[in-house]
Amino acid sequence: MEERLGEMTEPVYRMHRVWDPLLRALHWWNALTVLALVTLGTAIMFLGEDLPHAMEEGLITLHVLFGYLFAAGLLVRILWLFIGPQSAGWKDLLPITAGRRRTVLDTLKFYAGFLRGTPPLYKAHNPFAGMVYAVFFIIAAVQVGAGVVLVNLPDDLRDKSVSLELHEAGYILIMLYIAAHVFAVVVHELTERHGLISAMVNGDKGFTEEEWERLKDE
Amino acid sequence: MSGKENIVFGLIYFAFTAVLGPVLLVPGNGGNFQKMMAADKAVEAMAEEMKTGEPKAVTQAAAVAAIMDYLKGAKRIGFIASAAHAHGNLESLLNVVAGLVILTLQIPSSYKTLLSLLFIIGAVMHSGLLYLVAVFGIRAVGGFTMIGAVAIIAGLLLTGIASVIGIKGIKGIKGIKGQKNAG
């Protein structure tokens, strides 16, 4: 009976700091600027020709303004990959250790089993998601570059430019990324129960003693 | 990096950018002045012919060619070199000032490194690349100057935020929040 009661006892979670304030600020800065950019970009792409010329120009100016604000956040985030704390660094994104490669496999098995079984255990970034973030940073940098080229091209060359095709392809990839990111975050929040979303606000994730012990090698 | 690097970089970069002004701009302006005088002379010759009737095609073509020659030179040397010189001077001084501010901030060292790097990258990638365009005519690198501009904007914003939390007081100066006079 005592054993049964013991089994039913809720595990005790202790909060541990996983993400620094700058990383969290950059995450939300980039999220808000990307949201503004895709909203304005969608309006320019699908409504641009139906809108009065002055309004279209205004939307493009706003899109460029948010583009520069996003570029500033992206540049700082990329620098922070190399000089920031361990949990913000590039080593926390890529599966460069055997332990992190094992977590990638655990994550893929968890997905393949339709979220049944034990969810993967990791301290800060999930290394599988980390690889996706690394690709996102590259796509975002190309997107910013293509955007700058487009802004500086004369109107008649802009429509025929390779940069425009690149910028539109980047838009689709970023939309797919946003959908996948939000979906995966909700799934991991519900299945892992470490407080993933709130950790991106307050910096802390909850782990049991046993989980924290297993994560010490990470 | 603690801010000292920005002061060192800023002062040395200022020496270079100050020297590049007379080296790059003064001869350019001299050449441009000559072209302007040539254009003026060609237009005057056309105006002289116009007094007696239709100007000759050769005179008209010479006037147009002289004007275009002046405009091309003015655009190439005047605009980009002036921008490089002005921004170079400004960004070197910005590095000196930013370095002094970063030195006084009480924030973790990785944050100081980030701020320090942003201002150095900003100057090198912005006015530094503008100099490459102006001096060597490598126009392709001109597009990358936005990286420098963005780095400076990010550096200014983050240093502003860091100053709110990182300026805790300076020893020996009265009136600065949270610090008693050392004396």
Check residue B140 and report its DSSP letter.
G
Tell me what pLDDT residue B183 has.
36
Neighbours of A171 (CB within 10 A): 17
Q: Which residues of B touch A150 (CB under 8 A)?
A: none
Mutate: best of B126, B150, B156, B159, partner A, most A CBs <10 A: B150
Tell me what pLDDT residue B53 has.
87
In this complex, is the C-beta atom of B153 within 8 Å of any C-beta atom belonging to chain A?
yes
Tell me what pLDDT residue A8 has.
63
Q: Which residues of A touch B122 (CB under 8 A)?
A: none
Tokens of A126: 């999930």
Tell me what pLDDT residue B69 has.
84
Tell me what pLDDT residue B178 has.
46
Task: Check B158 against A71: CB less than 8 A apart.
Answer: no
Distance from CA of A86 to the nearest CA of B (A): 11
Under-70 pLDDT residues of chain A: 1-8, 218
- Residue B42 within a domain: yes
pLDDT digits (tens, 9 = 90+) for A15-29: 999 999 999 999 999
Tell me what pLDDT residue B180 has.
44
Neighbours of A116 (CB within 10 A): 9
Mutate: best of B146, B147, B156, partner A, most A CBs <10 A: B146
Q: What is the pTM of this model?
A: 0.80
Neighbours of A91 (CB within 10 A): 17
Nearest to B131 by CA among B26, B12, B20, B10: B20
Q: What is the mean pLDDT of chain A?
A: 91
pLDDT digits (tens, 9 = 90+) for A86-128: 999 999 999 999 999 999 999 999 999 999 988 999 999 999 9
Task: Check A75 against B151: CB less than 8 A apart.
Answer: yes
Tell me what pLDDT residue B171 has.
57
Under-70 pLDDT residues of chain B: 25-30, 73-78, 169-183
Tell me what pLDDT residue A159 has.
84
- Residue B29 within a domain: yes
Query: What residues contact B45, with CB distance under 8 A and at least 6 apart?
Result: B59, B62, B63
- Residue B181 within a domain: no
Tell me what pLDDT residue A65 has.
94
Q: Are A71 and A33 in contact (CB under 8 A)?
A: no
- Residue B35 within a domain: yes
pLDDT digits (tens, 9 = 90+) for A85-95: 999 999 999 99
Q: What is the mean pLDDT of chain B?
A: 84
Question: Alpha-carbon Rg of chain A, whole angstroms?
Answer: 21
Which residue among A68, A83, A148 sits closest to B113, beta carbon to beta carbon? Answer: A83
- Residue B171 within a domain: no
Which residue among B143, B150, B157 sits closest to A149, beta carbon to beta carbon? Answer: B143
Q: What letter represents residue A141's amino acid?
A: A
Rounded to two decimals, the ipTM of the complex is 0.79
Size of interface A-B (CB pairs under 8 A): 39
Q: How many domains does chain B have?
A: 1
Q: Which residues of B touch A140 (CB under 8 A)?
A: none
Distance from CA of A202 to the nearest CA of B (A): 18
In this complex, is the C-beta atom of A83 within 8 Å of any C-beta atom belonging to chain B?
yes
Which residue among A76, A85, A145 sits closest to B154, beta carbon to beta carbon? Answer: A76
- Residue B102 within a domain: yes
Structural domain harbouring B17? 4-166
